[in-house]
A = this chain, B = another copy of it.
Amino acid sequence: MSRPPHRGRPATIIDVAEAAGVSRQTVTRAMNDMPGISRVTKERVLEVAKELSYRPSRYGRGLVGHSRRTIGLVVDDLTNPYYPQLASAVVSSATERGWNVMLAQTAGAADEAALVADLAAQADVLIGYPRTADGAPHDALVGVPFVHVDAGPSTPGGGVELDATAAMEDLADHLIERGARRPALLDVGTGTVATDRGRSFMRAMATRGVPAVRQTCELSTFGSGASGARALLAAHPGVDAVMAFNDVMACGVLRAMHESGVEVPGQLRLAGCDGLDLGTVVHPALTTLALDMAEVARAAVGMALGMFEGTVPLEGYRTRVRHRLLVRSST
A residues bordering B, Cβ < 8 Å? 8, 50, 53-63, 67-68, 70, 73, 77-79, 81, 83-85, 87-88, 91-92, 95, 100-105, 108-109, 115, 118-119, 121-122, 142-144, 222, 251, 254-255, 258, 277-278, 280-283, 310
- Are B281 and A251 in contact, CB atoms less than 8 angstroms apart? yes
Residue numbers in B under 8 Å from A8 (CB-CB): 310
Of B56, B83, B100, B105, the residue contacting A95 (CB under 8 A) is B105
> Across the interface, which residues of B come within 8 angstroms of A55, CB to CB?
121, 143-144
| Alpha-carbon gap, A38 to B91, bound state (A) | 44
Contacting residue for A255 out of B53, B108, B251, B283, CB 8 A = B283
Contact B310 A281, beta carbon cutoff 8 Å: no
Chain B: minimal CB distance from A295 (Å): 16
Name the residue in A84, A104, A280 with the highest tally of chain B Cβ atoms < 10 Å from its Cβ: A84
Closest CB-CB distance, A250 to chain B, in whole Å? Answer: 10
Which residues from B are CB-within-8-Å of A87?
78, 84, 103
CB <8 Å contact, A50 and B102: no
Inter-chain contacts of A102 with B (CB < 8 A):
70, 100-103
**Closest chain B residue to A7, Cβ basis:** B310
Do the beta carbons of B53 and A59 come within 8 Å of each other? no
Bound complex: CA A169 to CA B62 (Å): 53
Are A283 and B310 within 8 A (Cβ)? no
**A122 with B58, Cβ < 8 A, contacts A53-B143, A105-B91 known:** yes
